[in-house]
């Protein structure tokens, strides 16, 4: 009788397994607000998703829905938390206050390499020093370092005084003020038009986005000094994560946040370099690479911005120290 029961149990398990295989992999919707032809979806998000699907041993299949099919950039986090999408590309700066400490990469002069900055952030997440309640962080991306781009010549610190500079958030605004400029809050897609209309004199932005938003056509002057950059994350609803098969989780872990940061960093550095080289070859564009004395003047002017952020709380102070250590470790590797 026991043998019969055992045989029946084995048969039922076999049938369940066969049914699961017949049903195919679990589909995971991946919402991306960027256009499907943009370099992010083409060179990073799509290949990464395909690698995970392949490594999951048939348990999951990621379907990327690019172009904001499920909602605009500002709504991506809500799409995941409300389970409209299983996972999404999220820009935490669009949901200020939701994730404490997430703005640390926006601090000036701490880093120049987006791969190293992204890997450092991934290490802080793994250590529990950066927390994202309600979601599982699958990937970390940091823009290239922001530079000064203007329709007026900026060759030294004093040249920024009185200029109206687009700033993307509180830290960016503090940076502009510390440099003697007047910060103006505007979305990146409207910067070029407002420079052309005389509402703005320039912006802080990385080279790649300068081209994406066609701001480079309105800003013939560029000053290279690392003014921080912004984080994007790929996140998954925690309930969706908890229900995934072990093989699927293993695939996501194999291509986890540090792997994604390195992938993204490689692509964004190539994009930044290509745009900068195009500008350098254009006789209508002027790029200033300051000498050490000028760099030191900028760093001295901006150190109070870093100190103010660090001094807001013991948590911020500890996080800054951990970030600097993680940056040093990423740089040494």
Model confidence over 122-151: pLDDT tens digits?
Answer: 999 999 999 999 999 999 999 999 999 999
Please report how the helices 114-126 and 257-281 are oriented relative to each other, as an axis angle in degrees rounded to 10.
160
Three-state helix/strand/coil letters over 12-41? HHHHHHHHHHHHCCEEEEEECCCCCCCHHH
pLDDT at residue 7 in the model = 43
What mean pLDDT comes out for the span 276-300?
A: 96
Q: How confident is the model at residue 10 (pLDDT cuts 50, 70, 90)?
A: very low
Statement: residue 273 has pLDDT above 60:
yes
Q: What is the mean pLDDT of residues 177-205?
A: 95
SS3 (DSSP) at 146: coil
pLDDT of 8 strictly over 70: no
**The dihedral sign for the CA sequence 244, 48, 322, 183:** negative
pLDDT of res. 23: 63
Looking at residues 104-108, what average pLDDT do you find? 97
Specify the long-range contacts of residues 315-320, CB closer than 8 Å, at least 24 apart: 315/100, 315/101, 316/101, 318/129, 319/101, 319/104, 319/124, 319/129, 319/130, 320/104, 320/107
Strand pairing of 26-31 and 87-90?
Answer: parallel
Q: What is the pLDDT of residues 38-78, one digit of tens each?
A: 999 999 999 999 999 999 999 999 999 999 999 999 999 99
Task: Calculate the average pLDDT of the chain.
Answer: 92
pLDDT recorded at residue 95 = 84
Domains for the chain: give ranges and CATH numbers.
26-99+112-142+230-270 (3.40.190.170), 147-228+281-332 (3.40.190.170)
Tens of pLDDT along 302-318? 999 999 999 999 999 99
Q: How far is the CA of 140 from the CAs of 17, 90, 102, 152, 258, in angstroms?
A: 35, 10, 11, 34, 7
Q: What percent of the chain has pLDDT over 70?
A: 93
Angle at 77 between CA 75 and CA 81, to 5 degrees: 115
Neighbours of 329 (CB within 10 A): 13
What pLDDT score was predicted for residue 94?
A: 86
Per-residue pLDDT of 274-283, as tens digits, reads 999 999 999 9
């Amino acid at each position: 009788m026991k043998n019969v029961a055992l045989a029946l149990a084995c048969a039922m398990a076999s049938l369940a397994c066969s049914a699961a295989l017949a049903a195919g992999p679990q589909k995971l919707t991946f919402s991306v607000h960027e256009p499907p032809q943009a370099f992010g979806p083409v060179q990073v998000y799509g290949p990464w998703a395909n690698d995970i699907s392949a490594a999951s041993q048939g348990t999951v299949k990621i379907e990327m829905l690019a172009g904001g099919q499920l909602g605009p950039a500002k709504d991506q986090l809500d799409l995941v938390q409300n389970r409209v999408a299983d996972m999404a590309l999220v820009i935490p700066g669009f949901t200020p206050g939701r994730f404490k400490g997430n703005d640390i990469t926006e601090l000036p002069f701490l880093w120049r390499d987006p791969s190293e900055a992204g890997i450092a952030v991934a290490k802080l997440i793994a250590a529990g020093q950066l927390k994202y309640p309600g979601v599982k962080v699958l990937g970390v991306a940091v823009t290239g370092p922001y530079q000064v781009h203007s329709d007026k010549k900026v060759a030294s610190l004093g040249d920024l005084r009185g200029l109206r500079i687009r700033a993307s958030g509180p830290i960016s605004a503090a940076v502009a003020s510390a440099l003697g400029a007047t910060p103006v809050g505007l979305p990146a897609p409207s910067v070029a038009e407002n420079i052309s209309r005389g509402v703005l004199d320039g912006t802080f932005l990385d080279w790649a986005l300068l081209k994406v938003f066609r701001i480079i056509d309105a800003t013939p002057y560029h000053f290279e000094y690392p003014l921080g950059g912004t984080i994007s994350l790929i996140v998954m609803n925690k309930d969706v994560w908890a229900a995934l098969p072990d093989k699927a989780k293993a695939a996501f872990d194999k291509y986890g946040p540090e792997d994604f940061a390195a992938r993204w960093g490689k692509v964004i550095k190539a994009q930044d370099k290509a745009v900068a080289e195009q500008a350098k070859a254009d006789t209508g564009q002027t790029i200033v690479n300051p000498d050490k004395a000028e760099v030191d003047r900028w760093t001295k002017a901006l150190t109070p911005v870093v100190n103010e952020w660090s001094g807001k709380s013991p948590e911020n102070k500890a996080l800054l120290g951990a970030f600097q250590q993680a940056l040093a470790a990423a740089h040494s590797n």
